[in-house]
Copies of this chain bind each other. A is one copy, B any other.
Amino acid sequence: MFYTLDILGTIAFAISGVLVAFHKRMDVFGILIIAFVTAVGGGTLRDLLIGNTPVSWMLDMNYTYAILASAVFAIIFRKKINYLRTSLFLFDTIGIGLYTVVGIEKGLNANLHPIICIALGTMTASFGGVIRDILCNEIPVIFRKEIYATACILGGLTYFVLIEFPIKTDFVFIISGLVVIISRLLAVKFKITLPNIYTKET
């Protein structure tokens, strides 16, 4: 099931990358690079830190095919997908939900501490978008004044709470991923941000 989630997350992030690259009017090659980097950036950082090399997308061509297919699809239907620009946010949010869960699972497989697993899930989910934004000269999503990494951390905490109860592991993962997606959607809808610790005097 993780494999399906991973490929779905790859497609979601690849399309989010293509949409940002379109917005910046990049050439075909630039679009492909941004799609690729957005889709595999987080997983690559995670695999490097764990020592899981060659990194997963190098060993399994399905990632590359999924990214190329998503990018080519988006380039061919660019006039129609242009109307989808508002859906960038949705693809991005689905992507972080799926990737958070995939990252936690890889951390568990490497026998790492729950806190480290949550950090790996958050990195997997957010690092691709950070590189995408740096390359496209936007402020990285993770530093924007909205809940992003916090949603991943909430999902991670949900996992380690629910896993203590007699619930099937697959469900725990699905619920955790949904917590990420829903908490980001709600946070953006209701403009929830982290508390401000600075007073005027500070």
Enumerate chain A interface residues (CB-CB to B < 8 A): 25-30, 33, 44, 48-51, 53-55, 58-59, 61, 64, 75, 78-79, 82, 110, 112-113, 115-116, 135, 142-143, 145, 149-150, 193-198, 202
- Nearest B residue to A82 via CB reads B202
- Whether B53 contacts A54 by the Cβ 8 Å rule is no
Oligomer: number of copies: 3
- Whether B49 contacts A51 by the Cβ 8 Å rule is no
Give the dominant DSSP class at A's interface. Answer: helix
A142: which B residues are within 8 A, CB to CB?
Answer: 33
A135: which B residues are within 8 A, CB to CB?
Answer: 143
Which of A29, A44, A64, A149 is most buried by chain B, counting CB atoms within 10 A of its CB? A29
- Nearest B residue to A153 via CB reads B29
Nearest CB on B from A27, distance (A) = 4
A51: which B residues are within 8 A, CB to CB?
Answer: 51, 53-55
- Whether B58 contacts A28 by the Cβ 8 Å rule is no
Which of A53, A78, A113, A193 is most buried by chain B, counting CB atoms within 10 A of its CB? A53
